[in-house]
Amino acid sequence: MKYCTIALGLLLAGTSQAKQYGFLKDNGNGSWIIGNDVWNMTQERIYGSKLYYKDQELVGEATGHYVSYNGAASNLAWTSAKIVKTGSNYIDVQFDATEGEMHWVIFNGLAGAYQYFVNRALPVLGEFRTLWRLDNETFTSAYNADKDGVLPPLSEYAISTKIQDETWKTPEGNYLTKYDWSGNVREQKYWGVYGDNFGSWYLHPGKDYFNGDHLKQELMNHRESATGDAVQLNMIHGTHFQALSNDVLPNGKIWGPWLWYLNDGTKADVARRYNNEINSWPYKWLDDAAYNSRVASVTGKLLLSDGRPAAGAAVFLGDNHPNKTTLDMGSDYYYTTYADNDGSFRFTDVRTGLYALQAWSNGGSIGDVTTTFLKNDVDVSGSATSKTRLDKLTWSVPTSNTIFQVGGFDRKSTGFAFSGGFGAGRVDNCPANLTYTVGSSNTADWCFAQNAKGTYSIAFPLPVSNTTSDALLTVSLAGYSQGTTVNIFANDVRIGNLSSSGILSDPSLYRSGTVAGEWHQFEFPINGRKSQAPGEKRGMKDKLAGSPRAIATAMVQTFRLVKRVEHDMCDRHDKCPQQFLDRFLELNAKEREGLDLELAIVIITDLSKTYTETSKSPMNGTCSPAPFQGRSAEGCFGLLQEFARDTGSEIDVEIFAILDERSRDDDTVCIVKASKTTGEIKTDMQIKSIVLIAMMKGNASNEKAHHVLRYRRLTQLEGAMDGDVLLAIIEPSPTTTEPGKDVSTACYLLNSILNLHRCKTSITDKVIVANHETEEML
C-alpha cells in the first residue's frame, strides 16, 4: 500500500463536511506532507522527496525538489509551514524560510500544484531557481521548445573527457553537455522531463517575472553528470547566458504563479493544459494587491523618422530611466512583444507603474536600423479593464549612404552559417580565414562565430567618387566570449580593436549558444585619405579585415559600412555631443579661474588618433562615435591602456572618473583608481557631482605625498548625451609641494559609454566632496 492512501486517511479522520482533498500534515520532526487525492510529497528542511503519483514513487535515489540562489551552496531551509488560504476547491500552503515564502496552491483532483515565491530577504543575486531532480529510470527524456529527446545515459559521461564547464568530449569526438538542453525563456510554453508512463512539467502562462528581454536564454533540463538524476530546472531568475546580472530584489516581489504538472508523459496533453492556463492568466485566486493591479493592455505604434513603419521591431517595457541593458534587467517585471507590419504593438495584462519603452530592430525590413528607441515615464495606470494607449511614437534614425551590410541588425547571428538553436562545438565548423565578397557572397557564407587565429575579410566595390570620403563601420556583436583580441583594418590601416579587456565576456558560445548572448555594438570611423594603400592617391579602397590574435574567440556579428555624414551622427541625440563637450570645457575653464591649478583636459573621440595637446572649445563639429560603449570600469581601464600604448598619446590612465546615464538622474559619479602594475581596480560611487574640477593637494606630513581629491559641483550640464560619459582624470606625479599650494596636472577623457554597471568597492585615497552652493562638506 502506498503512502498516499495512508496520508489521505489520516487527514480525513474526524471530518463530517464535504471532502477536502488538498492537505498539509505536520510530521512533528521538521518535515511535512503536502498533496491531494492524486499525489503527495514529503517536504523536509531543504528537500522535497517521496513524491507519489499513480502508486509510484518518482524521486527514487535522486535529490527531489528544492529552491536555491547563486548555486547549490545557498539552498533555502524551511522553518515552518501553514495553510494561508482555503478556497472552495483549493488550499494555499506556505513554506517559510529566511529569504521568503514558497507557496504550493493545491487544487482538488489536480495532478500537480501551482507554485509561486514571495521575496522577503533575498540578497543581491543573479541566480534564483526551483527544480526537481527525479528518478533517472522513470524519466529518461527531456523536452523544451528548442530540444526534445532522450537524455544521455550516465555511463557516457564516465567514458568521456571533461574539457570545460559541464562539457565533455566523447571517444567519437562528439560533445556532451547539459547546455544543449537550454532554450529561449520567453518562447517556451512548457518544458520538463518524461518517460514511457510519467511526465513532470513546468507551465509558465505569465512571464513578466522573468529577468531579461526577448533574447533571454536559460538552461531547462539535463542529466546531472555526478549522480544521473533527471533534472527539471526552473530558472526564474537566471544568468547562464549573461555576462552580468546582479539585481536588488524588492521585498514582496512575486515570481509566478506557474503550474507544476504531472501526467503520463504525453506532450499533447501538456499542450492542451497550457492553452487552458493561458486563458486563465492572471490567476484570480491569488490575493495580492500589486499582482492584481493591472491594465488590460498597453498599445502603440512605432514609425521611423524616415517614414517607414517599425515592422517586426522588438518592443520592450521595462525599467524606467534604465541604467542596465534590457537583458540585464531583473529587479521588477518585464514585458516583451514584436511589432506588427505597420509598427503597431500590444502588451497585455501589464502591472501598473512607470516604465520605459524600448524598441530595436529584429531584422527584416528595418534590418538596417542601428539605433534603439527609448521613451521614459510611460504611465501604466487604471483598472483591469483599462487600456493604456500611447501616442504615435517616432523613432529617430539617421540617414546614411550604405556602402555594404553583412547580416541584419537584430542582436542575433540569424542567417549566418551554422547559427540556430543550441549546439556545443558548432563553432569548430567555422574556418580560421574567410573572405566575403560584396555582390557575390550570401549572408549564409559568413560564419556565425570566430574561434581560431585568422582573418575574416570583406571585399567590396567602391566608386572612385567615394574613395576619399570618410565612413563609419558599425560592428554588432550578438555575443562575445573571453580570451581574444581582434584588430580591425581598412586597407591594412588599423581602425579599431576589440578585446576581452574592454568587452564584458558572456558564456553563451561555450555554453552551446549559437544565436545570441550579451549584445554589443561598436562604431569605428574610417578616414578616407588615411586608409589609402601606400603609394596610392586614392582614399578608402575595398577591403576590411578582422584578425583575432588569440584562440577562444567567440563573436557573433553584423557589419555595416556607411558613407559618413556629420549631421547624421549628431541627429542620433537630442543635441549634438559637440555642444555637450564645449559646455564641459567652458565650465571647467571658468571654474579654474583664480586657482593656482594647471588643468589639462583632453577629450578622446577617436581611438586611432594620437593625442598630444589639450582640447579647446569649440570642438570643431565633433560627434562622438562612442569607443567606450558597453564597457565596465575594468574594460575602460584596459581600453585606455591599449589606446595610450598603441597611439603614443601622452596621457596617464591610472585614475579616472566615470559618468554614466544614471548620473543625469542622481548626480553620482564613479571614481576609479587603477594600477597598471598589479591590475587592481578600486572604485567609489559616493561622489555627488556631474562636472568635476580635480585638485590634488600635496601632504607634507606624508613622505609619499598622499593626494586629496576635492570635487566641486559646478552645474547640471544642459543637453546631456543619450548614453554615458567617461571622464578619465590623469593622476599627477606624486611630488610633494609647498603646504597649502594646489598643484595638479589633470586630464579628462570624455566619451559615450552605455550600460556601465555601478561600482562596488572604495578607493584608498581620501575623497572629499564639497557642495558648490554652500561650500559645506558632504
Question: Are residues 666 and 645 both part of a single domain?
Answer: yes
Q: What angle do CA 514, 516, 520 make, to 5 degrees?
A: 130
H helix or E strand, kind and range, residue 51: strand 48-53
Asked if 421 and 579 touch (Cβ cutoff 8 Å), the reply is no
232, β-bridge pairs: 132, 221
Q: Kindly indicate the confidence band of residue 731, based on its pLDDT and cuts at 50, 70 and 90.
A: very low
Mean pLDDT to the nearest integer, 674-701: 47
Cα gap 713→587, rounded to integer Å: 11
In terms of domains, do 475 and 495 share one? yes
User: In Å, what is the CA distance from 142 to each residue of 39, 193, 199, 329?
Assistant: 22, 4, 9, 29
Of 291, 322, 351, which residue is a domain's last?
A: 291
Q: What is the pLDDT of residue 238?
A: 94
Residue 1's pLDDT is what? 31
Distance, CA of 483 to CA of 489 (rounded, Å):
20
What is residue 493's predicted lDDT score, i.e. its pLDDT? 83
Residues 236 and 166 in one domain: yes
Confidence band of 590 (pLDDT split at 50, 70, 90): low
Q: Which band of pLDDT confidence, cut at 50, 70 and 90, is reported for residue 269?
A: very high
Task: Give 609's DSSP letter.
Answer: S
Cell of 246: 546582479
Give DSSP secondary structure letters for 168-222.
EE-TTS-EEEGGGGEEEGGG-SEEEEE-SS-EEEEE-S--TTSSS-TT-EEE-EE
Distance CA 365, CA 360 (A): 12
665 shares its domain with 766: yes
Same domain for 601 and 534, yes or no, is no
- Say if CB 118 and CB 253 are below 8 A apart: yes
Point out the domain boundary residue: 257, 291, 325: 291
Q: What is the distance between the alpha carbons of residues 610 and 310, in angstroms, rounded to a whole number?
A: 40
Cis bond before residue 739 (omega within 30° of 0): no
What grid cell was written down for 9? 486517511
Mean pLDDT, range 696-704, rounded to an integer = 27
In this prediction, residue 591 has a pLDDT band, given cuts at 50, 70 and 90, of low
609 or 91, which is more confident: 91
Q: What is the pLDDT of residue 11?
A: 33
Mean pLDDT for 694-706 is 27
Residue 699: pLDDT over 50? no
Residues 362 and 458 in one domain: no
Q: In this predicted structure, which of 60-74, 289-303, 455-469 has the lowest mean pLDDT?
A: 455-469
CATH number at residue 406: 2.60.120.260
**Which pLDDT score, from 0 to 100, does residue 463 have?**
67
Residues of the chain with pLDDT > 90, as a percent, come to 54
175 and 198 together in one domain: yes
Supply the pLDDT for residue 719: 29
Q: Does one domain contain both 511 and 604?
A: no
Do 491 and 593 fall within a single domain? Answer: no
Distance CA 349, CA 64 (A): 34
Domain that holds residue 308: 293-395
> Does pLDDT of 645 surpass 90?
no
Do both 353 and 408 map to the same domain?
Answer: no
Q: 777 in a domain, yes or no?
A: no
pLDDT at 608: 67
Of 50-54, 723-727, 762-766, which gets the smallest average pLDDT? 762-766
Q: Find the mean pLDDT for residues 409-435.
A: 93
Q: Which residue has the higher pLDDT, 756 or 210?
A: 210
Q: Is the pLDDT of residue 351 over 80?
A: yes
Q: Average pLDDT, stretch 158-185?
A: 95
- Can you state the percent helix, strand and coil of the chain, rounding each to 5? 15, 35, 50
Confidence tier at 230 by pLDDT (50, 70, 90): very high
List Cβ neighbours of 774 (8 Å cut-off, separation of 6 or more). none
Predicted pLDDT of residue 615: 75
What gap in Å lies between CA 433 and CA 189, rounded to an integer? 40
Q: Dump pLDDT digits (tens) for 124-151.
A: 999 999 999 999 999 999 999 999 999 9
* pLDDT score for 581: 60
Q: Of the segments 15-24, 56-65, 694-703, which one has the largest average pLDDT value?
A: 56-65
Q: What was the pLDDT predicted at 659? A: 52
Residue 239's Cβ-count burial label (10 Å; 0-12, 13-18, 19+) is: buried
* Mean pLDDT of the 608-617 span: 74
Residue 113 in any domain: the answer is yes
The better pLDDT of the pair 428, 713 is held by 428
Mean of the per-residue pLDDT values of the chain: 77
Residues 367 and 435 grouped into a single domain: no
Q: Where is pLDDT greater, at 189 or 720?
A: 189
566: left (phi > 0), else alpha (psi -120 to 50), else beta?
A: alpha
Task: Decide if pLDDT at 379 tops 70.
Answer: yes
Joined together, the cell numbers standing for residue 693 give 574640477
Does the structure show a pLDDT above 90 at 170? yes
Tally of domains in the chain: 4
Q: What is the pLDDT of residue 561?
A: 67
Last residue of one domain, picked from the residues 569, 586, 604: 569
CATH number for the domain harbouring residue 218: 2.70.98.10
Helix (H) and strand (E) counts in the chain: 8, 50
Q: Is residue 508 part of a domain?
A: yes
Mean pLDDT within 270-274: 98
Average pLDDT over residues 51-65: 97
Phi, psi (deg, nearest 5) at residue 12: -85, -10
Q: What pLDDT does 419 receive?
A: 94
**pLDDT, position 649:** 75
Indicate if the pLDDT at residue 209 is higher than 90: yes
304 in any annotated domain? yes
Cα–Cα distance, 193 to 538 (Å, whole number): 63
pLDDT band of residue 286 (cuts 50, 70, 90) is very high
Q: What value does the mean pLDDT take over residues 668-676?
A: 67
Taking Cα atoms as reference points, which of 725, 717, 716, 714 lies closest to residue 750?
725
In a domain, 273, yes or no: yes
User: pLDDT tier at 563 (50, 70, 90 boundaries)?
Assistant: low
Whether 163 is in a domain gets the answer yes
Q: What is the pLDDT of residue 765?
A: 29
Cα separation, 165 vs 258, whole angstroms: 30
Residue-wise over 487-516: b if at least 16 C-beta within 10 A, else e? bbbbbebbbbbbbbbbbbbbbbbbbbbbbb
What is the model's pLDDT at position 505? Answer: 83
Mean pLDDT score, 246-252: 94
Q: Are residues 761 and 664 in the same domain?
A: yes
- Which residues are 694's β-sheet partners? 711
Span of 148-162, 470-484, 513-527 with lowest mean pLDDT: 470-484
Contact 717, 584 (CB under 8 A): yes
Q: Are 183 and 190 in contact (CB under 8 A)?
A: no
Residue 775 lies in a domain: no
**What pLDDT score was predicted for residue 7?**
33
User: CA 455, CA 450: separation in Å to the nearest integer?
Assistant: 9
Question: 648 or 305: whose pLDDT is higher?
Answer: 305
Q: Residue 304's domain is classified under what CATH number?
A: 2.60.40.10
Residue 552 φ/ψ region, left for φ over 0, alpha for ψ in the -120 to 50 degree band, beta for the rest: left
Would you say residue 688 has pLDDT above 50?
no
| For range 681-702, the mean pLDDT | 38
Grid coordinates belonging to 180: 544543449
Q: Which helix (H) or strand (E) holds 673?
A: strand 668-674
Confidence of residue 494 (pLDDT cuts 50, 70, 90): confident
Query: Does a structural domain hold residue 662?
Result: yes
pLDDT bucket at 774, cuts 50 / 70 / 90: very low
User: Burial, 535: exposed, middle or buried (Cβ in 10 Å; 0-12, 13-18, 19+)?
Assistant: exposed
SS3 assignment, position 635: helix
- How high is the pLDDT of residue 460? 86
Residue 768 reports pLDDT greater than 90: no
Mean pLDDT of 205-230: 97
Q: Residue 750 above 50 pLDDT? A: no
Q: How far is CA 585 from the centre of its chain?
A: 34
CA dihedral sign, ordered 573, 579, 583, 585:
positive
Question: The C-alpha cell of 355 is what?
Answer: 516604465
